[in-house]
Structure 1
Amino acid sequence: MVLRWRIWNCLRSARPKLRSSKSSKITIRAMIKGFFRCPLDVTGRIDKVLADQFPEVSRTWIRKAIEEGRVTRSDGSKLEPKTKVFPDDELMVDLERPSCSPIEPYDYPLKILHEDDHLIVVNKDSGMVTHPGDGTSADTLVHALMHHCPDQLCPIGAPKRPGIVHRLDKETSGVMVIAKSEQAYHSLVSQFSDRKTQKKYCALVSGQLSGTEGEFNGAIARHPKVRVKMTVAEHGKPALTTWRLIKRFEEGFSFIDCEIKTGRTHQIRVHFSNASNPIAGDLTYGFKQNGKSPVFFSRVMLHACELSFSCPRSSERLTFRAEIPDDLELALQKLTPTE
């Protein structure tokens, strides 16, 4: 109670100077939990008013706080994001984010491709789950990041997905970007959503592909019977994968690179399986290990080799590449290229 009155007295004394005094603005922005009185010259939707007064907090988070009842009238009555507020309206505001601390740090030698104050780019190893979920253990990428850069990941998505803006399947290796700041988080989420990123993969697929390049555009939906799988279906979401042949092998495999223009779950795996060319090692989507093959595939031979996006701060185009991992390189060396 003493803290609330202290905040209230500070705001009250600074109120006439909200627009002209830089120090009073800082006082208001620093307070993200406590008693809040709307400034004299402000009228509008509560979510917009708070977004203006607390620019370091995203409007999405503010809306969520309002909907969860963490922003109320001083008498405890609930509000909606669209509720209109007026000068001198008294509110109780709690815009604090949950701590990421419930995740136990995992000491793991991450392969860092780039790191700054806003984001970190890693080359994820095959076998590592991106973030915690039902049935996962305490050795996910998020656990490893909590050890590498504790208290630095963007809190959006905490505690299980702090800073996570996209994912790679457990067995898929390669480039991933994770946000540290909210600015980076919202910029990257927007870029992935608006398809302004460029995502390139390489894969070893079974069978001899027809031609040297092509595309798959089958819509993808959840499998009607096996819920952990996806499938090509007319009622699914649009998906586009382009591919280019790099090398054919006598043992009945093709090494290709591909680019996904959309980001559907298991997209590359589903599209090649649907074309009767499942990715080597992908038992979920129809690959069958041949006992006579010189290579035993212990995982899905899919690697995210390149990721491009715009820098959240400068808009400069950034491109990060991850070399082909040892297990995929070894498999290619054991196979016999065709003429």
Structure 2
Amino acid sequence: MSDTTEREWTLEDGTAAERLDRVLARLSPDLSRSRLQALIRDGQVTIDGAPVLDPSLKVAAGAIIALVVPPPVAAEPQGEAIALKVVYEDEDLIVIDKPAGLVVHPAAGHESGTLVNALIAHCGDSLSGIGGVKRPGIVHRLDKDTSGLLVVAKNDRAHQGLADQFADHGRTGPLERAYLAAVWGVPDRHKGIVDAALARSLHNREKIAVVSGERGRYAITHYEVLEALPPANPVASLVRCELETGRTHQIRVHMAHIGHPLLGDRVYGSGFKTKANRLSEAAQTALADLKRQALHATVLGFEHPRTGEFLRFESPLPADMDRLLQALRA
């Protein structure tokens, strides 16, 4: 298929209720089930004219299902002229100060416009191949809406050396990573440790949840309260977090788990929306302008995989988070 195509079916009477992805797999045998699930989550499927995002939704007789199939994209990411803030670069690696809103690597719904596309244009063919076709050079990731420091390997030797450090998470090696987060409320303890296993939520596959039992993956976050905001009658606080493990959404989920979700976090902090009414007018405006979770990767330190030299970088708060904190302090 060279162009976008649209397909539509009406389920016949007598059809038993069945998962949407299974129905589509039967109706479109030329598309894999994983591809169909990605299309569903990307909003390309409607039932009776309404968008559906859940592949497991049961569909019954009489339903009108419409599917939009976009044209295929290149198997390998292409270089794109996207501006990068390069903090450090040599023949082995490159350190980027990633802005909020930039996706790290191509995935369903983000086939282009990613950090990988920018790096391919910037570095040419020198990126490490260990991460695979879609993730060349990527040693670790930051969420799309998390800003801050990230290191990328330019060759396989550097990639392996960095990957070993990130796998250890600084428990016995030199890796240092710290994040700044603005959270609702002030934790009772000035310093604390959140030790809570994480796994993909069974109710919403887009979310990570704290779980018990064998399904969860070991996850530990160390936090320290730096500042109560505002000082006199605090509604929020500035917290420094360090990771002992590096799970998806770890800081966001762990801070929400102890009752202090990140400001601006629509996924894990939605129950705290009314808290914004307690903020000053300036702080409410700054929070509305943030349009993301208030999380920034502020420190990154590691041993250079070739020279053994310890490299440490610091990134100041980006303008949107700095405006929020200034408004909260007032």
Normalising by structure 1, what TM-score?
A: 0.67
Query: Which residue pairs with 2:193 in the alignment?
Result: 215
Q: Deviations over 1:56-80 (max 9, x none)?
A: xxxxxxxxxxxxxxxxxxxxxxxxx
Question: Is residue 220 of structure 2 the alignment partner of residue 240 of structure 1?
Answer: yes
Question: Is residue 180 of structure 2 the alignment partner of residue 202 of structure 1?
Answer: yes
Q: Deviations over 1:246-267 (max 9, x none)?
A: 1111351110111001111111
CA distance in structure 1 between the partners assigned to 2:295 and 2:155 by the alignment: 30
Question: Is residue 236 of structure 2 the alignment partner of residue 253 of structure 1?
Answer: yes
Query: Which residue pairs with 1:274 in the alignment?
Result: 257
Whether the aligned pair in 1 keeps the contact of 2:228 and 2:238 (CA below 8 Å) is: yes
Query: Which residue pairs with 2:158 in the alignment?
Result: 184
Describe how 1:25-174 pairs up with structure 2 within 5 A.
102-174=76-148
Query: Which residue pairs with 1:313 in the alignment?
Result: 306
Question: Is residue 319 of structure 2 the alignment partner of residue 326 of structure 1?
Answer: yes
Query: Which residue pairs with 1:284 in the alignment?
Result: 267
One-letter amino acid of the counterpart of residue 182, structure 1: D
Q: State the aligned residue count.
A: 238
Change (3 A) 1:234 1:101: closer
- Gapped regions of structure 1 (runs ≥ 5): 1-99
Q: Deviations over 1:178-211 (max 9, x none)?
A: 0001110111111111223221000000112113
CA distance in structure 1 between the partners assigned to 2:121 and 2:309 by the alignment: 29
CA distance in structure 1 between the partners assigned to 2:236 and 2:162 by the alignment: 35
One-letter amino acid of the counterpart of residue 108, structure 2: D
* Secondary structure, counterpart of 2:76 in structure 1: coil
Q: What is the CA RMSD across the aligned residues, in angstroms?
A: 1.7
- Gapped regions of structure 2 (runs ≥ 5): 1-73
Of residues 276-285 and 294-303 in structure 1, the stretch that sits farther from structure 2 once superposed is 294-303
One-letter amino acid of the counterpart of residue 236, structure 2: F
Normalising by structure 2, what TM-score?
A: 0.69
Query: Which residue pairs with 2:54 in the alignment?
Result: none
* Secondary structure, counterpart of 1:231 in structure 2: strand
CA distance in structure 2 between the partners assigned to 1:114 and 1:156 by the alignment: 21
Query: Which residue pairs with 1:226 in the alignment?
Result: 204
Whether the aligned pair in 2 keeps the contact of 1:198 and 1:261 (CA below 8 Å) is: no
Describe how 1:10-21 pairs up with structure 2 within 5 A.
none
Whether the aligned pair in 1 keeps the contact of 2:77 and 2:111 (CA below 8 Å) is: no
Whether the aligned pair in 1 keeps the contact of 2:198 and 2:211 (CA below 8 Å) is: yes
Query: Which residue pairs with 1:264 in the alignment?
Result: 247
Q: Among the aligned pairs, what percent are the same residue? A: 39
* Secondary structure, counterpart of 1:187 in structure 2: helix
Whether the aligned pair in 1 keeps the contact of 2:184 and 2:260 (CA below 8 Å) is: yes
One-letter amino acid of the counterpart of residue 311, structure 1: H
* Secondary structure, counterpart of 1:149 in structure 2: helix
Computing the radius of gyration from Cα coordinates, the structure with the larger value is 1
CA distance in structure 1 between the partners assigned to 2:154 and 2:135 by the alignment: 12
* Secondary structure, counterpart of 2:102 in structure 1: coil
